[in-house]
Amino acid sequence: MSQIQYQTAPKEKFTVVTLLNTSLSSNLVPELNEITNTIGATPPKNLVLNFKHVTNWELPIIEQLADAQQRFYDNNTSFVICCLSDSLQNLLDTTEFASLLNMTPTESEAWDIIQMEEIERELLDSDDMEFSTQE
């Protein structure tokens, strides 16, 4: 029975999960779901999924990633995928999920997105947005 091999690297504002499998088949969807749910429930709740080792994935994996991303955004947290190989990107481009997933070419750019989204959330959640009128 195969399972997902991965490494986690917690940072200040997010956790990087680097998948070590070269292939992600549909039978790994429940485990991937469990990993993303666990990360999303533990500070720091933002997630960067690094796919630098993965060369093949099946459609149910892509669907699960889209679902996980939506759960993160529903909970005001960030979910970014990075380092997709050309073969993964080509397969993704044949699906309707290509335009939905938050992806970057590098891990560094994923960090930038999370930092920007954090600032955006802080600004939108700020109660300091009161405007005083002077007469």
- The answer to whether residues 16 and 53 touch, using CB atoms and an 8 Å cutoff, is no
What's the confidence (pLDDT) of residue 125?
Answer: 82
List pLDDT tens digits, range 88-115: 999 999 999 999 999 999 999 999 999 9
Q: What is the pTM of this model?
A: 0.88
CA distances from 10 to 94, 97, 106, 114, 135 (A): 33, 27, 17, 14, 51
Q: What is the pLDDT of residue 134?
A: 55
- pLDDT tens, position by position, 47-75: 999 999 999 999 999 999 999 999 999 99
Domains of the chain, first to last = 6-124 (3.30.750.24)
Q: Residues 76-95: what's their mean pLDDT?
A: 95
pLDDT in tens, 12-55: 999 999 999 999 999 999 999 999 999 999 899 999 999 999 99
Q: Is the dihedral of CA 9, 76, 38, 65 positive or negative?
A: negative
Q: What Å distances lie between residue 81 and 1, 117, 125, CA to CA?
A: 26, 14, 25
Question: Is the pLDDT confidence value at 11 over 50?
Answer: yes
